Structure formats: C-alpha cells, structure tokens
Amino acid sequence: MSKRSIVPFGPQHPVLPEPIHLDLVLEDEKVVEAIPSIGFIHRGLEKLVEKRNFHDYMYVIERIMDVEIPDRAKYLRTIWCEMSRLHSHLLWLGLLADAFGFESLFMHCWRMRETILDMFEASTGGRVIFSVNKIGGVLKDMDNSMLRTFVDMFDKMEEEVRQLTNVFLKDYTVANRLKGVGILTKEDAVLYGAVGPMMRAAGIESDTRKLGYAAYGDIDFDIITGKDCDSFSRCEVRINEIFQSFNIIRQAVAKIPEGPVSVDVKGNPNGEAFVRLEQPRGEAIFYFRGNGTQFLNRARVRTPTFANIPSLVKILEGCDFADVPILVLTIDPCVSCTER
Amino acid sequence: MAKITKSPWLLHYDGSSCNGCDIEVLACLTPVYDVERFGIINTGNPKHADIFLVTGGINEKNKAVVKQLYDQMPEPKVVVAVGICACNGGVFKDAYNIIGGVDKAIPVDVYVPGCAARPEAIIDGVVKALGVLDEKQKAFKEAKKKKGAEK
C-alpha cells in the first residue's frame, strides 16, 4: 500500500462558485475517502424567521392559512418554475463544460441562458431574485401577448439548445470525461437518499412535481430517468429535462385560464405545514410553524444539495483525483441553499 | 479613469451570499456582458489577482478565509463588495452569525449595491476599481522610490 496523503479542496477553488471544503484522502492519484465540511455560508435563515415578518415565505404560509390561490396564479407560478429550471440546467451545463475545460461550450450555454433571464426581467422585473410571489397569489400578471411571445422565443431557442446539447451527447471528448465516471448505483441512490436528477440518473422514477402542486396536476409529462448511473447519465437527464420544460411551458400557456392573479389574505398564520417541491436540483422540503403573530415559531428547510452530499461523498470514493471537480459539479451543488 | 493601463485579473469569492450575486458575477464574464474586452479574466488564484470581488455578508467561519485570500493577493490590490449583503449585511443583517458586510473583515474600496447586483452595476464597480488600482499603483511606486532614496 502506498502512502496516504490529504489534499484540501476548497473552500476557494477555481471550479467552485461557492465555498465548500473537502479533505481528500489520496493514495497516489486515487481518492480513498472524501471528508466534507460545510458552514462557510451559513447565515441562520431558520433562526431569522423569528425576527423577520412572515410575508417572506409564500407557499407554505398559504398552506398553513388554508388559502386557495386563483388558477391563473398557479399557472403563472408553474411557468416561472419551469423557466427557472431551464436557466438552472443551462447554467449547470455551462459550469460542467467549464470543469472539463471546454470553454467555448461554457460561453454558449451562458449566452442562451441570458435569453431566459431577459424574459424573467420582462415579466417580473428581476433577473435573479424575482420577488413576484405573495401570499395569496402573484404580484404581476403576464398578459397573453407576452405569453405568446415567450412561446415563440422558446420555439426558436429549442432548436439552438438542441444543437448545443448535441455537443454534450455526441462529442467524444465530453464522453471520455463523463462516461463510466462517478457511478452511483440504484441501491446506493436509495441508501444515501439522493434526490432530483442525481436519483433519476440512477434509474429511480420519482419527481415531486407529480404530486400536482401549482398547475402540475393539469399538465402531462413523463418522469425522465437515466440508466447508466454515471456522470454522463446525469448530464443526459438534465438535458432531457430542458426539453421537457419547454413542453410544460407550452402546455401551461395553452391551458392558462383568465381571471385574477391574487386573493386578499388577512390575519397571521397559526399552525404548521410541511411542503415538498421539485426544484431544478431535486426535492426541497419546507416546514414552517406559525403562532398567530407576525413572526414564525420554527422554520426548517432541507434543500436538494444537502440531500445529495452523502451521494457525492460516495461517488468520490475510489475516483481519480483529476475527476474530483467534475464529480462535485455533477450533483449541481448550491452550497448557499444548503447552508441557508 | 482615462485609460486602462493593465489587464487586471480578478478573484471572486462567495463570502456567505445567497449565490444570487455570484451567478451575476459569472454572468459578467460570459458573452452578453463580456468583461474580457477590458482584459479582465477571472482567475482562481489569489496570487495572480488585482481585484477581489466579494459577495455576501460574511459569517464567522468565512471571515478567516476572506482575510487569508486578501492577504495572499499582492499589492497593490482593490476590494469590491458586490451586492447589498456585502455592503452592509442586507436581508441577513439580523442573522446571528453574519458580521454584517465585507468591510468588517477587510478594507473595501468600491461598494456595488443591489439584490442581486446587476451585471451592469458590477462592471461599473470593477471599472471604478480600476481607477482606484491606478492610484494605488502610483502611490506604491512613489513610496518605493522614496524608500530607495533614503537608502
């Protein structure tokens, strides 16, 4: 047995937009064990609810207060959710390309993502933080001409995205870096509680959107799964989800009913609610408890990245040292979300 | 700032932000905003960097990391605080472990407000930082000359 050495990875690392620290135990060029440590961006959001007004947290409060929001607002939320998924997956594809050194591919992914951000800006006013939801509905309506324009733009974009994703799926340099790397078997995915594309790439059919929150109940879509359980499979699942999102948006625009976009809500939340949502990175869980005042008693948020860290540690065991940045990226880490 | 006298390289670090400003910093580097036209590239190495972009209100654990990165950068250097959290703690000001702004940890030269800070604002901040960098460079050279004369 060769000598073991420990290489620190992060918190500041060129491949990471956010700080996470891993102690990599190496034997020559092989990683034997990875020990993660987080906390660099912990802000104490769950404690902050005791100091900040409850109006900052929408859907869960609506569940506590038993508010039924108008149908049009549900559809608008669905459309914005899917647009978020589109831009998030394009962002991830770009970061992945950057991690294996394909700079021009990274630039093209992010160029396309900007179109979606422009749409966000036109419809909500913000590029990253939208502040468009409120308790009882949404603050801004998208009129039908805007929705039609968006669908036209998505039609054009779909063709461009297809050309782009062909590079990921057919280029041999990409395949060489991703195929057979970072295998998380179906059994391990269950054991380590993987969520989102990470889990679906291991062949498990599960998608929280199928619970039918917002307008997802009225929309026809299949759960996308992969079968090879490796990094390439995770890339493939996310690419297919991009095209699925285009489809969902088209269906939602075709079916969106007329009507108001919000209802008035009076009073303070009293009681508790537990909500599961499918974010681009996987299933997120929210739990809030109100006590009848304008401040909440308890909040709990479990984000998909947090659920995927055990799987990450698992796939890092036995991998090549040079593959570590790519494997860290394949879980689509959002460390800021994880640490709240 | 009349003209750019060098190709400034920048270092970006997430000092406990929500990732909103961080993706906007990255968006600055990509085709639509493209700061590379000013000769700016994002380096992962603090020892190569002239400009330090920090986002977020910095928590207790991250304070030491930000300080260390700052110390590793060669003089002259400029720090840009990106986003309202980096300026004064923003929405997380009341959180128990947020120190409330980058300037509580290291000296800051340029403040870019916004939630999330827009790419245009970030680029404007970086261009302002270039002016500050020029001045610091001049002062640095003069101090060196003075030191040489004394010997």
**Amino acid A275: pLDDT:** 81
Q: With an 8 Å Cβ cutoff, is B22 touching chain A?
A: yes
Write down the mean pLDDT value for chain A. Answer: 83
Q: Where are the domains of chain A?
A: 1-40+309-340
Facing residues of A131 across strands?
none
Q: How far apart are CA B57 and CA B103, in angstroms?
A: 9
Q: What mean pLDDT comes out for the span A182-195?
A: 88
Q: How far apart are CA A161 and CA A108, in angstroms?
A: 10
pLDDT exceeds cutoff 70 at A55: no
> ipTM score of the complex?
0.79
**Long-range contact set of residues A186-191: C-beta below 8 Å, sequence gap at least 24:** A186/A229, A188/A311, A188/A314, A189/A229, A189/A311
Residue B2: pLDDT band (50, 70, 90) is: low
Residue A326: pLDDT band (50, 70, 90) is: confident
Structure tokens at A226: 């992969």
B56: chain A residues, CB-CB within 8 Å: 41
Burial of B8 (0-12, 13-18, 19+ CB in 10 A): buried
pLDDT tens, residue by residue, B23-57: 888 888 888 888 888 888 888 888 989 899 998 88
A114: chain B residues, CB-CB within 8 Å: 27, 30-32
Residue A49: pLDDT band (50, 70, 90) is: low
The chain B residue lying nearest A340, using CA atoms, is B18
Q: How far apart are CA A234 and CA A240, in angstroms?
A: 10
Q: Name the least confident of A255-269, B79-93, B117-131.
A: A255-269
Contact A326, A99 (CB under 8 A): yes
Residue A58: pLDDT band (50, 70, 90) is: low
Q: What mean pLDDT comes out for the span A166-195?
A: 88
**Amino acid A183: pLDDT:** 87
Rounded to the nearest angstrom, the minimum Cα separation between B33 and chain A is 10
Nearest by CB to B16, from A40, A107, A129: name it: A40
What CATH code is assigned to B9-150? 3.40.50.12280
pLDDT tens, residue by residue, A83-140: 888 888 998 898 888 888 888 888 888 888 888 888 888 888 778 777 777 777 787 8
DSSP B16-80: S--SHHHHHHHHHTSTTT-GGGGT-EE-S-GGG-SEEEEES--BHHHHHHHHHHHHHSPSS-EEE
Q: Which residues contact A60 (CB under 8 A, 6 or more apart)?
A: A273, A275, A286, A287, A288
**Amino acid B80: pLDDT:** 92
Burial of A101 (0-12, 13-18, 19+ CB in 10 A): exposed
pLDDT exceeds cutoff 60 at B122: yes
Q: What mean pLDDT comes out for the span A249-262?
A: 85
pLDDT exceeds cutoff 60 at B1: no
Contact pairs from chain A to chain B, CB under 8 Å: 107
